[in-house]
Homo-oligomer: A and B are copies of this chain.
Amino acid sequence: MPSSSQHKATVTAPSNIAFIKYWGARNLKRAVPVNRSISMTLRTCVSRCTAAWLPDRGKHVIELRNARGVLAPAPPAFAERIRSHLNFLRRWAGVGGHFHIATENSFPAAAGIASSASGFAALTLAVVTALDRRLSLEELSSLARLSGSGSAARSVAGGFVEWPVGFSDDACHARVLAPAKHWPLANVIAVVSSGPKGTSSLDGHRRARTSPYFRTRQRRLPARLEAVREAIAGRDFEQLGTVIEAEAVDLHCIAMTSVPPIFYWQPATLVVLETVRALRAEGVPAYATMDAGPNVHVICLPRVEKLIAERLAALPQVETVIRDRIGDGPAIETRHLF
């Protein structure tokens, strides 16, 4: 083992926006999904994580940069999820000791952007780098996934990512469909609510099967996945957009018809969706997608990104607009957080 002073690494890992959603798990704890998903990796919305491995026994130290810009102990529920993953990674690596972790997000705290995908991808990569392990994309994806945040499995790579490629527990990792430079799409995020969600994604996954429409959705997903792969391969924006907007509505219909129902949409969500349809009616190519929350991601070509951002920012119901692009995936950083 090298000395502890070298056992420190800082990485960034991006958030991603799913074109085909992960909704429903075969094994929720191990984040083995019922269906494949496809996402676009983001560039600007990233988590930065410094991990240090300390060989002596001790409790993990877990810090998060807070709204005032200060590194402070992470909130208990969040720290517990990280602690659990650190223990898993320690067993996986076959080491003792403990970790000192510090994390920050490039996007506003509690902006309603899912930070678990980028956060757990960054944590996983920072820890394995601090431990000086070299992993394949497949191994890294599987390890990130085992944090319990399934979408973290997609955040270890750039461009267009499909996850999983196989359904066995071992083969449940992501692969790159196409790199970012293949098709430089933009994502204008309309943040309509920065508050916490009423129902967590984990509860949503649990309840997904209670929707009468869940099985029908599963049966139809292979064709939808193929339509997205085709659209990406052929850079067919209209085909991509039509499918992903329908897919997002589908996810929310499954949630709203679960027992008991889950309503992630807020009034402002519908305002943004109406605006996107109005933009299309004006000839602006833009399609909406939403994760399990009220915010709307407007996927567009870079040439109309500014126009769309301005239109969305002008809506009184929109709190913040974040302009993002397709990104290249995680990176090793030289500046540490501590």
Cβ distance A278 to chain B, nearest Cβ, rounded Å? 12
User: Could you tell me if A267 and B271 are in contact, using CB atoms closer than 8 angstroms?
Assistant: yes
Does B250 contact A257, Cβ atoms closer than 8 Å? yes
A206 proximal to B (CB < 8 A):
no
**Is the CB of A4 closer than 8 A to any CB of chain B?**
no
Whether the pair A249, B266 counts as a contact (CB closer than 8 A) is: no
Chain B CB count within 10 A is highest, among A266, A269, A270, A274, for A270
- Asked if A273 CB lies within 8 Å of chain B CBs, one says yes
A265 contact set on B, CB distance < 8 A: 270
Count of A residues near B, CB < 8 Å? 26
- Chain A residues 240 to 278 lying within 8 A of chain B, measured CB to CB, are 246, 249-250, 253, 256-257, 259, 261, 263, 265-271, 273-274, 277
Which of A58-66, A75-83, A212-220 contacts the other chain? A212-220
Stoichiometry, copies per complex: 2
CB distance from A281 to the nearest CB of B (A): 11
Q: Which of B217, B269, B271 contacts A212 (CB 8 A)?
A: B217
A257→B267 contact, CB < 8 A:
no
Asked if A257 contacts B268 (CB within 8 A), the reply is: no
Is A320 at the interface (CB under 8 A from chain B)?
no
Q: How far is the CB of A279 from chain B (nearest CB, A)?
A: 15
Set of chain B residues within 8 Å of A250, measured between Cβ atoms: 257
Min CB distance, A232 to chain B, in Å? 22
- Chain B residues with CB under 8 A of A249: 256-257, 261
In the complex, the answer to whether A257 meets B263 with C-beta atoms within 8 Å is no
Is A317 at the interface (CB under 8 A from chain B)? yes
B268 and A273 contacting across the interface, CB-CB below 8 Å = no
A18–B261 CA distance with the chains assembled, in angstroms: 20
| CA distance in complex: A116, B338 (Å) | 70
Given the interface contacts A266-B270, A271-B267, does A246 sit within 8 Å of B253 by beta carbon?
A: no
Q: Mark A277-295, 1 if CB is under 8 A from B, else 0.
A: 1000000000000000000
Sampled A-B contacts (27; CB under 8 Å): A212-B213, A212-B216, A212-B217, A212-B220, A213-B213, A213-B216, A213-B253, A215-B216, A216-B216, A246-B257, A246-B259, A246-B261, A250-B257, A253-B253, A253-B256, A253-B257, A263-B270, A263-B273, A263-B274, A265-B270, A266-B270, A267-B270, A267-B271, A267-B274, A267-B317, A269-B270, A270-B270
